[in-house]
Each structure stands twice: as C-alpha cells, then as structure tokens.
C-alpha cells in the first residue's frame, strides 16, 4: 500500500471534529450576527399571529379538540417559527455562498460530505431551538399553556430543525439564483406549512384533503408539537415520528450524496 492509500485509509477511519465544529460555529455566528432578524423577528411574528387571531375571533371560535382556539394554534405557530428559520439558515447560507462564488471556501478544506452535512445542520438546529425558546416563553406567559410531554417537545423541535434544515440544503444546492429559491419557498414550503393543520384540525377537511395532509411531514411536526404541549393530536405521535424520521433520513442521504459529488456546487 502506497502513502496516498495509507493516508486515505487513516482519513476514512477518523472524523474531522475540528473542521465540523468550525463549520457549525460559522453557521451559528452567521445568524447571531443579525439576531434582530433571525431571533427577534420570529418572536414578533408569533405575537402578531396570536394578537390578530385573539382580537378577530376571541372566544367566539370556541374550543377545538377540547382546548381554547388560541391554545390550539399556539403549538403550530411555535413549530412554524422553528421550521421556517431552520430552512432559512441552511438555504440562505449555501445559496449566498454559491452566488458570491465563495462556496469553494467550504469545499476545499479536508472535510467530508458527512461532516459538512452535520456542520450545516448544527447551525439550523441551533437557530431553530434558539427561536423556539422566546416563542415558547411567550405562549406560557400569555396563554398559560404548560408542557404535557416536555421530552417529546424537545424531540419534535430537533426533528423539525433537522428535516427543514436538510430540505434547505437540497433547495440551495438545486437553485442557482435567488429567483429559483423563491419558487421553492413560495410553491413548496409555504403550501406545505399552511396545509399542515396549524390553524385547524384536519378532521374538518374533506377526505381527499385529509389524505393529503397525512403524507405531509410538516403536518406531523405541527401535530407532534400540539401533542407535546397540549396532550391532544390528530394522529398517532409515533406514526408522525416515524414519517418525519424517514423523511429526514431520505433528505440527509440526498444532501450527503450531493455534497460528496459536488452536485451543482463545483464550477
């Protein structure tokens, strides 16, 4: 075995922890540098959602699944904030680097496709969880909601951040300019988000629409957050966990492969 083969064998058996941690730190510092946009803005959006629905409907809407309407939609608003920010973190980072031509700074260091994937997802996870804390505190203070299943909520928040972070990587690698990313956000992410049972129980939908909701991973994230906070859900939390885990695994595998071959990344 020659020297290059020996180096390859040694590199295959080791993880570049420093490179992976550096990428994760860069991704975290990037969104924290504009915390007023990345952390404060989602909190204001959540306040506006609760205020508008509270003023427009108040107590006239009645209960949904045995809980007040505002309490019912609050977990969905929380999860919407998390998944939108996790998606935005990875998609904006990679797409801006591609457009500006400095994606090579990430591709050149001795960091593998898997390590690169973990680094980007760590940034998405940090942003998603950081956004969730003030929104959750707002819900607790304003609506008096507790946590029926705290550990399940933590699991759902992590799963949602990973799922949408990996989807953001897929979108950013595929898109070559900001217009293409806008198409993905407007015609894929937004419909999936608003057709996920955030503001209603899917039991009120026609059978065809209800069936479509059951193949939407974001529905299971919203439903899982509602189960974790309120203890009620439209479907089995375990089925939802399985669907989200399968979707995350598939997206992560695609991200890893595209990173490995440099698909639409290398000039």
Annotated domain spans of the chain: 20-261
Query: Six-digit token pair at 214?
Result: 């059951």
pTM above 0.95, yes or no: no
Distance between CA 214 and CA 192 in Å, rounded?
11
Least confident piece of the model among 78-82, 84-88, 123-127, 211-215: 211-215
pLDDT above 80 (res 243):
yes
Tell me the pLDDT tens digit for each residue of 33-53.
999 888 899 889 888 888 888
Per-residue 3-state assignment (H helix, E strand, C coil) for 11-54: HHCCCCHHHHHHHHHHHHHHHHCCHHHHHHHHHHHHHHHHHHHH
On the question of pLDDT at 2 being above 50, the answer is: no
């Amino acid at each position: 075995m020659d020297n290059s083969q020996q180096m390859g064998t040694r590199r295959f058996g080791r993880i570049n922890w420093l490179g992976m941690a550096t990428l994760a730190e860069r991704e975290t510092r990037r969104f924290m540098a504009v915390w007023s946009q990345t952390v404060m803005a989602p909190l204001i959006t959540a306040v506006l959602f609760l205020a508008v629905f509270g003023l427009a409907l108040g107590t006239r809407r009645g209960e949904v699944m045995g809980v007040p309407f505002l309490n019912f939609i609050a977990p969905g608003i929380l999860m919407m904030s998390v998944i939108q920010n996790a998606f935005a973190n990875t998609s904006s980072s990679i797409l801006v680097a591609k457009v500006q031509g400095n994606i090579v700074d990430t591709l050149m260091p001795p960091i593998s496709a898997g390590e690169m994937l973990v680094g980007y997802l760590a940034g998405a996870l940090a942003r998603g969880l950081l956004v969730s804390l003030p929104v959750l505190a707002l819900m607790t203070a304003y609506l008096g909601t507790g946590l029926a299943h705290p550990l399940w909520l933590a699991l759902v928040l992590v799963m949602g951040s990973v799922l949408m972070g990996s989807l953001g990587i897929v979108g950013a690698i595929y898109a070559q300019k900001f217009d293409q990313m806008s198409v993905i956000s407007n015609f894929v992410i937004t419909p999936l988000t608003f057709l996920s049972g955030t503001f209603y129980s899917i039991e009120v939908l026609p059978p065809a629409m209800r069936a479509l909701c059951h193949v939407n991973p974001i529905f299971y994230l919203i439903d899982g957050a509602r189960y974790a906070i309120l203890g009620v859900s439209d479907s089995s939390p375990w089925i939802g966990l399985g669907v989200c885990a399968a979707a995350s695994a598939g997206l992560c595998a695609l991200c890893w492969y595209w990173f490995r071959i440099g698909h639409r990344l290398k000039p």
